[in-house]
Amino acid sequence: METASRCSPNDHLVIIGNGMASHRLVEALVNQPQRPRAITVIGAESTPAYNRILLSPLLAGDMQHDALTLRDAAWYAENDVTLRLGEQVEAIDREKRLLSTDSGHAIHYDRLVLATGSRPALPNVPGIKLGGVHGFRDLDDAAELEAIAKRGGHALVIGGGLLGLEAAEGLRKRGNELNVSVLQRSDRLMNRQLDATAADLLKDALTKRGLNIVTQAQLARLEGDANGQVCAAVLKDGRRLPTDSVIIAAGITPNADIGRNAGLTTERAVMVDAFLTTSDPAIHALGECCQFEQHTYGLVEPIWHQVEVLAATLSGEPTDGYREVPTATKLKVSGVALYAFGPTDPEPEHDELRYQDPQSGDYRRLLLRDGRLEGAVLYGDTRHGPWYFEQALAGTDLSASRQALLFGAADAEVLKDQQNDTPHLSTSEAA
Encode pLDDT of 250-306 as tens digits: 999 999 999 999 999 999 999 999 999 999 999 999 999 999 999 999 989 999 999
Give the whole-angstrom CA distance, residue 195 versus residue 189: 9
For 115-161, the pLDDT digits (tens) are: 999 999 999 999 999 999 999 999 999 999 999 999 999 999 999 99
Cβ-contact 198, 364 below 8 angstroms: no
pLDDT in the model for residue 383: 93
Boundaries of every domain in the chain: 2-119+253-319, 133-250, 337-421
* Mean confidence (pLDDT) of the chain: 91
Q: CB 427: neighbour CB atoms within 10 A? A: 6
With respect to CATH, is domain 2-119+253-319 assigned 3.50.50.60?
yes
89-93 sheet: strands from edge to edge: 89-93, 98-101, 106-108
Percent of the chain with pLDDT over 90: 83
Nearest Cα to Cα of residue 24 among 280, 302, 283, 274: 302
- Of 108-117, 171-180, 403-412, the range with the highest mean pLDDT is 108-117
331 pLDDT band (50/70/90 cuts)? confident
Query: Residue 306 carries which side chain, given as an amino acid letter?
Result: Q
Q: Do domains 133-250 and 337-421 have the same CATH topology?
A: no
For 385-418, the pLDDT digits (tens) are: 999 999 999 999 999 999 899 987 755 554 455 4
Give the whole-angstrom CA distance, residue 305 versus residue 225: 47
31 pLDDT band (50/70/90 cuts)? confident
Q: Where are the alpha helices (DSSP H) in 281-340?
A: 300-315
Q: CB 36: neighbour CB atoms within 10 A? A: 23
Report the chain's C-alpha Rg in angstroms. Answer: 25
Give the whole-angstrom CA distance, residue 4 versus residue 314: 8
40: DSSP letter: E
Q: What is the pTM of this model?
A: 0.88
CATH class of 337-421: alpha beta
294: DSSP letter: T
For 207-262, the pLDDT digits (tens) are: 999 999 999 999 999 999 999 999 999 999 999 999 999 999 999 999 999 999 99
For 336-354, the pLDDT digits (tens) are: 899 999 999 999 999 999 9
Architecture per CATH, domain 133-250, reads as 3-Layer(bba) Sandwich (3.50)
12-16 sheet: strands from edge to edge: 81-85, 38-43, 12-16, 111-114, 283-285
